[in-house]
A and B are shown apart, each in its own frame.
Chain A
Amino acid sequence: MPVSVTNSQLIYAALKACDIRIMSALPETWLVHLIRMADDDPQTTLVRLAKEEEGVGISAGAHLAGVKSAMLMQNHGFLQSINGIVSLARLYRIPLLMLISYRGEFGERDPWQTEGGSVTEALLNALSIPYTRLEEPAHVARRIRKAQALAESSLKPVALLLCRDLMWEE
Protein backbone atom coordinates (compact mmCIF):
# COMPACT_ATOMS: atom_id res chain seq x y z
CA MET A 1 0.00 0.00 0.00
CA PRO A 2 1.73 3.18 -1.13
CA VAL A 3 0.66 5.34 1.79
CA SER A 4 3.75 7.24 2.90
CA VAL A 5 5.13 5.85 6.15
CA THR A 6 7.78 8.56 6.33
CA ASN A 7 5.32 11.41 6.04
CA SER A 8 2.85 9.73 8.39
CA GLN A 9 5.69 9.61 10.92
CA LEU A 10 6.32 13.32 10.39
CA ILE A 11 2.67 14.10 11.06
CA TYR A 12 2.56 11.86 14.10
CA ALA A 13 5.71 13.38 15.57
CA ALA A 14 4.28 16.87 15.05
CA LEU A 15 1.10 15.92 16.91
CA LYS A 16 3.14 14.52 19.77
CA ALA A 17 5.19 17.72 19.89
CA CYS A 18 1.88 19.58 20.39
CA ASP A 19 1.20 17.45 23.50
CA ILE A 20 -1.77 15.71 21.88
CA ARG A 21 -2.87 12.92 24.25
CA ILE A 22 -6.15 11.77 22.70
CA MET A 23 -6.65 11.02 19.01
CA SER A 24 -10.03 10.04 17.68
CA ALA A 25 -10.11 8.28 14.34
CA LEU A 26 -12.16 6.43 11.83
CA PRO A 27 -10.04 4.35 9.49
CA GLU A 28 -9.42 5.43 5.95
CA THR A 29 -6.67 4.30 3.61
CA TRP A 30 -4.44 7.36 3.90
CA LEU A 31 -4.67 7.29 7.69
CA VAL A 32 -3.66 3.66 8.28
CA HIS A 33 -0.10 4.36 9.46
CA LEU A 34 -1.16 7.28 11.66
CA ILE A 35 -3.81 5.14 13.34
CA ARG A 36 -1.33 2.30 13.90
CA MET A 37 1.19 4.72 15.41
CA ALA A 38 -1.44 6.07 17.79
CA ASP A 39 -2.52 2.55 18.69
CA ASP A 40 1.06 1.45 19.40
CA ASP A 41 1.88 4.51 21.52
CA PRO A 42 1.19 3.89 25.22
CA GLN A 43 1.11 7.65 25.86
CA THR A 44 -1.68 8.24 23.33
CA THR A 45 -5.30 7.26 23.85
CA LEU A 46 -6.69 6.25 20.46
CA VAL A 47 -10.49 6.41 20.33
CA ARG A 48 -11.82 4.39 17.41
CA LEU A 49 -15.17 5.84 16.40
CA ALA A 50 -18.26 4.42 14.77
CA LYS A 51 -18.95 7.76 13.06
CA GLU A 52 -16.79 10.85 12.87
CA GLU A 53 -19.18 13.28 14.56
CA GLU A 54 -18.57 11.45 17.85
CA GLY A 55 -15.03 12.80 17.67
CA VAL A 56 -16.34 16.34 18.17
CA GLY A 57 -17.86 15.21 21.46
CA ILE A 58 -14.69 13.37 22.51
CA SER A 59 -12.55 16.42 21.77
CA ALA A 60 -14.99 18.76 23.52
CA GLY A 61 -14.97 16.59 26.65
CA ALA A 62 -11.18 16.32 26.55
CA HIS A 63 -10.75 20.08 26.14
CA LEU A 64 -13.06 20.95 29.03
CA ALA A 65 -11.17 18.37 31.11
CA GLY A 66 -7.84 19.99 30.22
CA VAL A 67 -6.43 17.46 27.74
CA LYS A 68 -5.31 18.19 24.16
CA SER A 69 -6.75 16.08 21.38
CA ALA A 70 -6.81 15.73 17.61
CA MET A 71 -9.27 14.23 15.14
CA LEU A 72 -8.17 12.03 12.23
CA MET A 73 -10.74 11.65 9.51
CA GLN A 74 -11.43 11.59 5.81
CA ASN A 75 -13.08 14.60 4.20
CA HIS A 76 -16.32 12.61 4.06
CA GLY A 77 -15.97 12.27 7.83
CA PHE A 78 -15.71 16.05 8.03
CA LEU A 79 -18.93 16.31 6.03
CA GLN A 80 -20.51 13.86 8.47
CA SER A 81 -19.38 15.92 11.48
CA ILE A 82 -20.72 19.30 10.47
CA ASN A 83 -23.64 19.49 12.89
CA GLY A 84 -21.34 18.68 15.80
CA ILE A 85 -18.80 21.23 14.60
CA VAL A 86 -21.50 23.93 14.42
CA SER A 87 -23.72 23.09 17.38
CA LEU A 88 -21.05 21.98 19.80
CA ALA A 89 -17.58 23.22 18.84
CA ARG A 90 -18.60 26.61 17.49
CA LEU A 91 -21.53 27.15 19.85
CA TYR A 92 -19.37 26.45 22.92
CA ARG A 93 -16.03 27.79 21.64
CA ILE A 94 -14.23 24.45 21.62
CA PRO A 95 -10.87 24.19 19.82
CA LEU A 96 -10.72 21.29 17.37
CA LEU A 97 -7.57 20.18 15.59
CA MET A 98 -8.94 18.34 12.57
CA LEU A 99 -6.60 16.39 10.30
CA ILE A 100 -8.61 15.66 7.19
CA SER A 101 -7.41 13.37 4.43
CA TYR A 102 -8.30 15.22 1.27
CA ARG A 103 -9.69 12.65 -1.11
CA GLY A 104 -11.19 13.46 -4.49
CA GLU A 105 -8.60 15.99 -5.64
CA PHE A 106 -6.46 15.95 -8.79
CA GLY A 107 -5.09 12.45 -9.23
CA GLU A 108 -8.04 10.70 -7.57
CA ARG A 109 -8.82 7.39 -9.24
CA ASP A 110 -11.72 6.28 -7.03
CA PRO A 111 -14.92 7.65 -8.57
CA TRP A 112 -16.72 7.47 -5.20
CA GLN A 113 -14.38 10.03 -3.63
CA THR A 114 -14.82 12.74 -6.22
CA GLU A 115 -17.98 14.51 -5.00
CA GLY A 116 -16.61 14.96 -1.49
CA GLY A 117 -13.39 16.33 -2.91
CA SER A 118 -15.24 18.99 -4.83
CA VAL A 119 -17.08 20.46 -1.82
CA THR A 120 -14.56 20.16 1.03
CA GLU A 121 -12.91 23.57 0.77
CA ALA A 122 -16.18 25.32 -0.05
CA LEU A 123 -17.67 23.94 3.17
CA LEU A 124 -14.62 24.86 5.25
CA ASN A 125 -14.94 28.39 3.89
CA ALA A 126 -18.70 28.48 4.49
CA LEU A 127 -18.07 27.49 8.11
CA SER A 128 -15.22 30.07 8.45
CA ILE A 129 -12.88 27.28 9.53
CA PRO A 130 -9.26 28.32 9.01
CA TYR A 131 -7.38 25.64 7.09
CA THR A 132 -4.17 24.99 5.27
CA ARG A 133 -2.86 22.22 3.05
CA LEU A 134 -0.17 19.76 4.05
CA GLU A 135 1.64 18.84 0.84
CA GLU A 136 5.34 19.37 1.52
CA PRO A 137 7.08 17.31 4.18
CA ALA A 138 9.12 20.36 5.15
CA HIS A 139 5.94 22.24 6.13
CA VAL A 140 4.31 19.55 8.23
CA ALA A 141 5.70 20.19 11.70
CA ARG A 142 5.41 23.97 11.50
CA ARG A 143 1.90 24.03 10.08
CA ILE A 144 0.56 21.53 12.59
CA ARG A 145 2.09 23.52 15.43
CA LYS A 146 0.61 26.75 14.10
CA ALA A 147 -2.79 25.19 13.51
CA GLN A 148 -2.92 24.01 17.10
CA ALA A 149 -1.81 27.41 18.37
CA LEU A 150 -4.66 29.08 16.49
CA ALA A 151 -7.24 26.51 17.62
CA GLU A 152 -6.24 27.05 21.26
CA SER A 153 -6.11 30.84 21.08
CA SER A 154 -9.32 31.30 19.06
CA LEU A 155 -11.15 28.43 20.81
CA LYS A 156 -12.44 27.32 17.42
CA PRO A 157 -12.01 24.47 14.95
CA VAL A 158 -9.09 24.52 12.54
CA ALA A 159 -8.33 22.06 9.76
CA LEU A 160 -5.27 20.63 8.08
CA LEU A 161 -5.87 19.03 4.72
CA LEU A 162 -3.66 15.96 4.25
CA CYS A 163 -3.06 16.08 0.51
CA ARG A 164 -2.23 13.38 -2.02
CA ASP A 165 1.32 14.59 -2.66
CA LEU A 166 2.12 14.13 1.04
CA MET A 167 0.19 10.95 1.82
CA TRP A 168 0.41 8.82 -1.32
CA GLU A 169 3.53 7.56 -3.03
CA GLU A 170 2.56 7.00 -6.67
Chain B
Amino acid sequence: MLRIDALRAIYNQLEQCVVVTIMGAVSAELQSIGHQPNFFYLQHAMGLASSMGLGIALSRPELKVVVFDGDGSLLMNLGGLTTLARYRPPNLVHVVFDNESLLSVGGFPTATATGSDLAGIAHAAGIPHTATVHNLESFQQAFSQALDANQLTTLVAKVEAKGPPVFLTDLPLLENRFQFARYLKNLAR
Protein backbone atom coordinates (compact mmCIF):
# COMPACT_ATOMS: atom_id res chain seq x y z
CA MET B 1 0.00 0.00 0.00
CA LEU B 2 1.23 3.47 -0.88
CA ARG B 3 0.55 6.11 1.74
CA ILE B 4 -0.69 8.60 -0.85
CA ASP B 5 -3.25 6.06 -2.09
CA ALA B 6 -4.39 5.52 1.49
CA LEU B 7 -4.76 9.30 1.95
CA ARG B 8 -6.67 9.58 -1.33
CA ALA B 9 -8.99 6.77 -0.30
CA ILE B 10 -10.17 8.61 2.83
CA TYR B 11 -9.67 12.21 1.72
CA ASN B 12 -13.39 12.95 1.35
CA GLN B 13 -14.04 11.85 4.92
CA LEU B 14 -11.54 14.39 6.25
CA GLU B 15 -13.79 17.29 5.33
CA GLN B 16 -15.83 16.79 8.51
CA CYS B 17 -12.72 16.35 10.72
CA VAL B 18 -9.89 18.33 12.19
CA VAL B 19 -6.60 16.91 10.93
CA VAL B 20 -3.08 17.08 12.39
CA THR B 21 -0.21 15.51 10.44
CA ILE B 22 3.48 14.96 11.06
CA MET B 23 6.21 16.45 8.92
CA GLY B 24 7.78 15.18 5.73
CA ALA B 25 6.08 12.89 3.27
CA VAL B 26 2.70 12.75 5.05
CA SER B 27 2.36 16.51 5.03
CA ALA B 28 3.58 16.91 1.43
CA GLU B 29 1.33 14.14 0.12
CA LEU B 30 -1.80 15.38 1.85
CA GLN B 31 -1.12 18.88 0.51
CA SER B 32 -0.57 17.47 -2.98
CA ILE B 33 -4.06 15.96 -2.86
CA GLY B 34 -5.46 19.27 -1.65
CA HIS B 35 -4.90 21.52 1.33
CA GLN B 36 -7.92 22.42 3.46
CA PRO B 37 -8.20 24.98 6.27
CA ASN B 38 -8.96 22.19 8.76
CA PHE B 39 -5.54 20.54 8.14
CA PHE B 40 -2.54 21.39 10.34
CA TYR B 41 0.92 20.13 9.41
CA LEU B 42 3.38 19.88 12.29
CA GLN B 43 6.59 20.37 10.31
CA HIS B 44 8.94 19.62 13.21
CA ALA B 45 8.72 18.60 16.88
CA MET B 46 8.67 14.90 16.00
CA GLY B 47 6.44 12.93 18.33
CA LEU B 48 4.14 15.75 19.34
CA ALA B 49 1.44 15.42 16.66
CA SER B 50 -0.46 12.92 18.81
CA SER B 51 -0.11 15.20 21.86
CA MET B 52 -1.50 18.09 19.80
CA GLY B 53 -4.38 15.91 18.70
CA LEU B 54 -5.08 15.10 22.35
CA GLY B 55 -5.01 18.79 23.24
CA ILE B 56 -7.54 19.59 20.50
CA ALA B 57 -9.73 16.58 21.27
CA LEU B 58 -9.94 17.46 24.98
CA SER B 59 -10.55 21.14 24.25
CA ARG B 60 -13.27 20.57 21.66
CA PRO B 61 -15.11 17.31 22.36
CA GLU B 62 -17.67 18.14 19.67
CA LEU B 63 -15.03 17.86 16.92
CA LYS B 64 -13.69 14.69 15.35
CA VAL B 65 -9.89 14.84 15.39
CA VAL B 66 -7.67 12.76 13.10
CA VAL B 67 -3.90 12.53 13.65
CA PHE B 68 -1.68 11.19 10.88
CA ASP B 69 1.41 9.95 12.70
CA GLY B 70 4.38 7.92 11.50
CA ASP B 71 6.50 5.13 12.92
CA GLY B 72 9.56 7.34 13.38
CA SER B 73 7.56 10.09 15.08
CA LEU B 74 5.55 7.78 17.31
CA LEU B 75 8.72 5.98 18.43
CA MET B 76 9.92 9.36 19.74
CA ASN B 77 6.87 9.71 22.00
CA LEU B 78 5.80 6.22 23.03
CA GLY B 79 4.99 7.57 26.50
CA GLY B 80 2.41 9.76 24.81
CA LEU B 81 0.43 6.62 23.96
CA THR B 82 -0.07 6.04 27.68
CA THR B 83 -1.31 9.63 28.02
CA LEU B 84 -3.72 9.15 25.10
CA ALA B 85 -4.93 5.93 26.69
CA ARG B 86 -5.36 7.60 30.06
CA TYR B 87 -7.76 10.24 28.72
CA ARG B 88 -9.00 8.14 25.75
CA PRO B 89 -10.94 10.91 24.01
CA PRO B 90 -13.66 9.19 21.98
CA ASN B 91 -13.36 11.88 19.29
CA LEU B 92 -9.75 11.06 18.33
CA VAL B 93 -8.58 8.73 15.57
CA HIS B 94 -4.83 8.13 15.62
CA VAL B 95 -3.53 6.80 12.30
CA VAL B 96 0.09 5.67 12.12
CA PHE B 97 1.62 5.26 8.67
CA ASP B 98 4.32 2.68 9.31
CA ASN B 99 6.86 2.45 6.49
CA GLU B 100 9.49 0.99 8.82
CA SER B 101 11.91 3.75 7.96
CA LEU B 102 12.92 7.36 8.47
CA LEU B 103 12.17 8.05 4.84
CA SER B 104 12.81 11.77 4.67
CA VAL B 105 16.32 11.51 6.11
CA GLY B 106 17.74 8.72 4.02
CA GLY B 107 15.43 5.79 4.59
CA PHE B 108 17.24 4.28 7.54
CA PRO B 109 15.19 1.53 9.18
CA THR B 110 13.22 2.20 12.37
CA ALA B 111 12.63 -0.42 15.06
CA THR B 112 9.40 -1.51 13.37
CA ALA B 113 11.64 -2.94 10.63
CA THR B 114 13.03 -5.37 13.18
CA GLY B 115 9.74 -6.39 14.69
CA SER B 116 8.52 -3.68 17.07
CA ASP B 117 4.74 -3.74 16.82
CA LEU B 118 3.21 -0.28 17.24
CA ALA B 119 -0.40 -1.49 17.40
CA GLY B 120 0.69 -4.02 20.02
CA ILE B 121 2.43 -1.28 22.01
CA ALA B 122 -0.66 0.96 21.71
CA HIS B 123 -2.88 -1.90 22.88
CA ALA B 124 -0.61 -2.62 25.82
CA ALA B 125 -0.59 1.11 26.66
CA GLY B 126 -4.36 0.88 27.05
CA ILE B 127 -5.68 2.38 23.80
CA PRO B 128 -9.21 0.92 23.67
CA HIS B 129 -9.15 -0.05 20.00
CA THR B 130 -6.07 -0.87 17.93
CA ALA B 131 -5.51 -2.55 14.58
CA THR B 132 -2.87 -3.08 11.93
CA VAL B 133 -3.87 -3.08 8.26
CA HIS B 134 -1.83 -4.03 5.21
CA ASN B 135 -3.93 -3.08 2.19
CA LEU B 136 -6.04 -0.26 0.89
CA GLU B 137 -9.39 -1.93 1.25
CA SER B 138 -8.87 -2.88 4.87
CA PHE B 139 -7.42 0.57 5.64
CA GLN B 140 -10.43 2.32 4.20
CA GLN B 141 -12.81 0.06 6.10
CA ALA B 142 -10.91 0.33 9.40
CA PHE B 143 -10.65 4.11 9.11
CA SER B 144 -14.37 4.51 8.45
CA GLN B 145 -15.18 2.27 11.39
CA ALA B 146 -12.83 4.24 13.63
CA LEU B 147 -14.47 7.52 12.60
CA ASP B 148 -17.90 6.15 13.46
CA ALA B 149 -16.88 4.21 16.54
CA ASN B 150 -16.80 6.98 19.15
CA GLN B 151 -13.84 5.24 20.75
CA LEU B 152 -10.17 6.19 20.72
CA THR B 153 -8.46 4.15 18.01
CA THR B 154 -4.84 3.70 16.99
CA LEU B 155 -4.81 2.36 13.45
CA VAL B 156 -1.42 1.27 12.10
CA ALA B 157 -1.28 1.23 8.30
CA LYS B 158 1.70 -0.62 6.89
CA VAL B 159 2.83 1.35 3.83
CA GLU B 160 5.71 1.23 1.36
CA ALA B 161 8.76 3.36 2.06
CA LYS B 162 8.05 5.66 -0.86
CA GLY B 163 7.31 9.35 -0.83
CA PRO B 164 7.33 12.50 -2.91
CA PRO B 165 10.63 13.80 -4.37
CA VAL B 166 10.41 17.03 -2.35
CA PHE B 167 8.84 17.81 1.00
CA LEU B 168 8.73 21.59 0.75
CA THR B 169 5.33 23.01 -0.19
CA ASP B 170 4.23 26.56 -0.93
CA LEU B 171 2.24 26.86 2.31
CA PRO B 172 4.18 28.84 4.91
CA LEU B 173 4.05 27.36 8.41
CA LEU B 174 2.50 30.40 10.03
CA GLU B 175 -0.12 30.84 7.32
CA ASN B 176 -1.18 27.26 7.99
CA ARG B 177 -1.19 27.84 11.75
CA PHE B 178 -3.30 31.01 11.71
CA GLN B 179 -5.69 29.70 9.06
CA PHE B 180 -6.22 26.53 11.11
CA ALA B 181 -6.83 28.43 14.37
CA ARG B 182 -9.27 30.77 12.65
CA TYR B 183 -11.12 27.85 11.10
CA LEU B 184 -11.54 26.23 14.54
CA LYS B 185 -12.60 29.55 16.07
CA ASN B 186 -15.30 30.06 13.45
CA LEU B 187 -16.73 26.56 13.78
CA ALA B 188 -19.88 26.68 15.83
CA ARG B 189 -19.26 25.14 19.24
Contacts and interface: CB of A to CB of B under 8 A. Distances in A.
Interface stretch (B82-90, B99-107, B141-149, B156-164): B82-90
B181 A57 contact: no
A85 B79 CA distance: 18
Interface string A69-96: 1000000000000011001100111000
Given A49-B83, A51-B79, A54-B79, A62 B55 contact: yes
A67 interface: yes
B68 interface: no
B83 A84 contact: no
B40 A22 contact: no
Task: Name the residue in A48, A61, A62, A67 with the highest tally of chain B Cβ atoms < 10 Å from its Cβ.
Answer: A61
A45 B86 CA distance: 13
Interface in B56-80: 56-60, 63, 77, 79-80
B174 A92 contact: yes
Interface of A: 21-22, 45, 47-51, 53-67, 69, 83-84, 87-88, 91-93
Given A64-B184, A92-B174, 15 more contacts: A47-B83, A50-B79, A54-B48, A54-B77, A57-B49, A57-B54, A58-B55, A61-B55, A61-B59, A65-B59, A65-B63, A65-B184, A66-B185, A91-B43, A93-B177
